[in-house]
Amino acid sequence: DQQVKQNSPSLSVQEGRISILNCDYTNSMFDYFLWYKKYPAEGPTFLISISSIKDKNEDGRFTVFLNKSAKHLSLHIVPSQPGDSAVYFCAASDTGNQFYFGTGTSLTVIP
Amino acid sequence: DAGITQSPRHKVTETGTPVTLRCHQTENHRYMYWYRQDPGHGLRLIHYSYGVKDTDKGEVSDGYSVSRSKTEDFLLTLESATSSQTSVYFCATQSGNGGNQPQHFGDGTRLSIL
């Protein structure tokens, strides 16, 4: 059974607006959460992470929010740029090594 | 990324044949991983290694074996390939233990089993 879920397969956003990508998980033991970005024919690349002791982590245009009680995290991209168009995966782990990935959300930023 | 090379990048083979995929890293990372990516499933962990000759199973390990005889190389073997193993395979490395250490991925191997 999928322990990490991304329920929106795709998202389209106008350039300059905010992109919000969502991720839900079922295992309350998960302590580490990461977001990866993937372009076609390439491997995923690390974007941003958060641990369970925090509820927000920010890096430039990217912010990740964690709501442990709801078992929910989200990635905010502000402002969105055409180069952000990619598939975004969230991943979670309780050990820091075995990560469980969501199914991905394909983001399209429209110029 | 992180000097990870996967070979081959593409392979087409027949059911029942053995297949070995290779992952080579130049970063001296301790941990190495093999994932498969399939539509509707995201990336799923097949096997991982936490050191030379030290490996463990992931969530979809049936039908796969791995070996790590050197820090830089991690091999994934399909002893007798089946059509259900048609997928894109990604290798990843991680420098240390801990969720604040992100995994770095290779560019994948697209494997088709006919």
* Mean pLDDT for back-to-back runs of 10 residues, chain A (111 residues): 91 98 95 95 94 94 97 97 97 87 96 95
So what's the pLDDT on residue B95?
Answer: 87
Asked if A93 reaches chain B (Cβ–Cβ under 8 Å), the answer is yes
Asked if pLDDT for residue B42 goes beyond 80, the answer is yes
The closest of A50, A35, A41, A40 to A4, measured between CA atoms, is A35
Cβ of A100 under 8 Å from any chain B Cβ? yes
Tell me the three state secondary structure of residue B85.
Answer: helix
Residues of A in contact with B102 (CB under 8 A): 34, 46, 49
pLDDT at residue B18, rounded to an integer: 95
Could you tell me which residues come within 8 angstroms of residue A31 by beta carbon, excluding any fewer than 6 positions away? A51, A52, A93, A94, A96, B99
Report chain B residues whose CB lies below 8 A from the CB of A96: 97-101
- Chain B residue numbers touching A23 (CB-CB < 8 A): none
Chain A, 54-73: which have a CB under 8 Å from a chain B CB?
Answer: none
Q: Out of B42, B105, B107, name the one closest to residue A41 (CB).
A: B107
For the segment B21-34, the average pLDDT, to the nearest whole number, is 95
The reply to whether residue B107 touches residue A42, judged by beta carbons under 8 angstroms, is yes
Q: With 70 as the cut, is the pLDDT of residue B2 above it? A: no
- Which residue, A8, A12, A7, is CA-closest to A85? A12
